[in-house]
Structure 1
C-alpha cells in the first residue's frame, strides 16, 4: 500500500482502539495508542531509507526483512518503549497490543498488491504478491479518509471504523473473485500458460497481466474481461557465456533478478563495450517498460557501469549510466 493509505489506516486503528475500555477511559493511553497506531501503520516502510545508499540495496531489502514476523514484533516493541518515555504511566500491554495490530495490518495488506512482500522471511524468502489490490486503491483510501472526517465531526469511531473495516473486508473478497475471473478468462485463451501475473490498476476493472507459456511471454491489458495483447516476446534461455556470467555477478542485476518474476534480456555489442539489459515485464506504461537492470562491460567483461530501478525514457537511462561511469 502507499504511504497515505497506511497512515489513514493507522488513524482508523487508533479510532477503533476506543473499543478497549482502558483506552477509552484514559486520555493519556488514548494519545499513546493513537500515535502508536499511526507510526506502526507505516513503520515497516522505514526501510525506504535504504534508497539513500543505492537502488540495488533498496530493491533487495524493501519489504523484505523489515516486513518479516520478527521485524513486526521488534517494530511494535520499539514503538511501545519509545512512547513509554513520554507516557510513563500508561498500561504498556494495551499500548503494545494496538501498536502490534497496526504493524501486522501494514504487512498483511502489502501482500495483496503486485509488488508484494517477503512476509514469511526467514522461513520462506519467496516474494508473496497476490495481485488483487492496486498499490494505491482510491476506494479504500476514500473510505479511510471519510471515516477520519466523520470522526472529526463527532461520529462514534468504533461504529464508524468497525463499519469501514467490514466493508473493506467484503471489498477484498470481491477483488479475490475479480482476479479469479481474470485468471479463468486467461487460462481459456492460453491453456498452456505456466504462470499468470496480475497487476490491478487504479481503474477498478482494468488489469495489466503477464502470461508466461513454455515458449512466449505475453503482455496484455484486460479491461472488463476483454484481453488486449500489447507485446509478445519469445522466451530465450540465458547463454552460458562469459559476458552473461559477469552480468549475473553484478549487485544491481542480482537485486533485479531476485525481485522480478517475469523478465527478458537484451544484449547489444558495441565497438568498445557490451550492454546487457534485463527488462521487467510487469510494469508496462505507455508502451515502455520502466523497471530495468542495465550493465555495461568492456571487452574483457569488466563491469563499467550498472544500474537498476525505474526509468521512464531511454534518454534518462543513458544519462543515468553516464553519471555512473
Structure 2
C-alpha cells in the first residue's frame, strides 16, 4: 500500500489496541503502543530510501528483505527496544505484541497489491502478489479517515476500528471475487492461456490485464467485467545475440528482468550505437507503456548509458539517458 494508507492503518491498529486492558491500564503503555503500531506499520518500507541511490537498487530490493520473514521478527524487537528507552514504565510484552501486529499488517496488506512482496524469504525469493487491491485504494483510505474523525469526536477507538476492519474484511472478499470473475472472463475469450496478470486500478471495477498464451501477449482492460483487448504482440524469445548478451549485463536491465514477469523487447541499430529496450506490458496507460528498461551500447558493444523506471515520453527518456552515467 502507499505510505498514507500505512500511516492510517497504524493509527487504526493503535485504536484497536485500546481494547487490550493492559494497554489502557497505564498511560505510558498506551502512548508507547500507539507509537509502536504507527512505526511498525511503516518500518518495512525503510527500503524506500534506496530510490535516492538509483532505480535499479530500488526495483531489485523494494519490498524484498525488509518484508521477509526474518525482518518481520526483527522489526518489532528493534522498535520495542527503542520505544522502551523513552517509555521505561511501559509494558514491554504488550508493546512488542502490538508492534509485531503492526509489522505483520503492513506486509500482509502489501501481498494483496499487484507489486507484491518477497514475504517468503529466505525460503523462497518468489514475489507474492495477489493483485486484488490497488497500491492506493480510495475506499480503504477514506474509511480509515472516517474512523479517525469518529475517534476524535469521542467514540471508543477500539470498537470503532474493530467495526471498520470487519467492513474491510468483506471488502477484500468482494475484491477477490471480482478479480476471479475477470480471470474467468479472460479465459473464456482468449485461447491457450498460460498466464494472466491482473493489476487493480484505483477505480472499483476496472483492471489492467496482461495475458500470456503459447504464441502471443495480450494487453487488455476490464471494466464492469467486460474485457477490451487493447494490444496483441507476438511472443518472441529473447535472442542469443552479442548485442543482447552485452545489454543484459547492465544493472538497470538486470533489475528490470528480475522484477517484470511479462514484457516485450526491441533492438534498434543506428549509425553509432545500439538501442536495446524492454517494455513491461502490465501498466498500459493512454496507449503508452511507461515502465521500461533501456540500454544504449556503442558499436563495440560497450554500455554507454542505461535507464529503468517509469517514463511517460520519449523526450524525457532521452534526457534521462543523456545525464545518467552508466
For normalisation by structure 2, the TM-score amounts to 0.98
Tell me by how many angstroms 1:192 deviates. Answer: 0.8
What secondary structure, in the 3-state scheme, does the structure 2 residue paired with 1:78 have? helix
Counterparts of 1:153-164 in structure 2, within 5 Å, are 153-164=153-164
Tell me by how many angstroms 1:157 deviates. Answer: 1.1
Counterparts of 1:40-119 in structure 2, within 5 Å, are 40-119=40-119
Tell me by how many angstroms 1:324 deviates. Answer: 2.0
Structure 2 residue aligned with 1:12: 12
Tell me by how many angstroms 1:191 deviates. Answer: 3.0
What secondary structure, in the 3-state scheme, does the structure 1 residue paired with 2:217 have? strand
Q: Distance in 2 between matches of 1:221 and 1:80?
A: 45
What secondary structure, in the 3-state scheme, does the structure 1 residue paired with 2:122 have? coil
Structure 2 residue aligned with 1:276: 276
Structure 1 residue aligned with 2:316: 316
Q: Distance in 1 between matches of 2:158 and 2:107?
A: 23
What secondary structure, in the 3-state scheme, does the structure 1 residue paired with 2:240 have? coil
Q: Distance in 2 between matches of 1:145 and 1:72?
A: 26
The aligned length equals 325
Large movers: runs of 4+ above 4 Å? none
Q: Distance in 2 between matches of 1:76 and 1:283?
A: 35
The CA deviation string for residues 122-146 of structure 1, in whole angstroms up to 9 with x for no partner, is 1110111110011111111111111
Structure 1 residue aligned with 2:216: 216
Q: Which runs of 5+ in 1 are unaligned?
A: none
Structure 1 residue aligned with 2:192: 192
Structure 1 residue aligned with 2:170: 170
Counterparts of 1:178-257 in structure 2, within 5 Å, are 178-257=178-257
The CA deviation string for residues 37-65 of structure 1, in whole angstroms up to 9 with x for no partner, is 01111111110011111110010000000
Q: Distance in 1 between matches of 2:77 and 2:191?
A: 49
The CA deviation string for residues 9-62 of structure 1, in whole angstroms up to 9 with x for no partner, is 000000000111111111111111001101111111110011111110010000
What secondary structure, in the 3-state scheme, does the structure 2 residue paired with 1:195 have? strand
Structure 2 residue aligned with 1:149: 149
What secondary structure, in the 3-state scheme, does the structure 1 residue paired with 2:271 have? coil
For normalisation by structure 1, the TM-score amounts to 0.99
Q: Distance in 2 between matches of 1:84 and 1:279?
A: 48
Q: Distance in 2 between matches of 1:138 and 1:324?
A: 35
Q: Distance in 2 between matches of 1:132 and 1:115?
A: 11
Structure 1 residue aligned with 2:265: 265
Structure 1 residue aligned with 2:21: 21
Tell me by how many angstroms 1:183 deviates. Answer: 0.5
Q: Distance in 2 between matches of 1:209 and 1:236?
A: 19
Q: Distance in 1 between matches of 2:62 and 2:235?
A: 29
Tell me by how many angstroms 1:247 deviates. Answer: 1.1
Q: Distance in 1 between matches of 2:33 and 2:254?
A: 41
What secondary structure, in the 3-state scheme, does the structure 2 residue paired with 1:217 have? strand
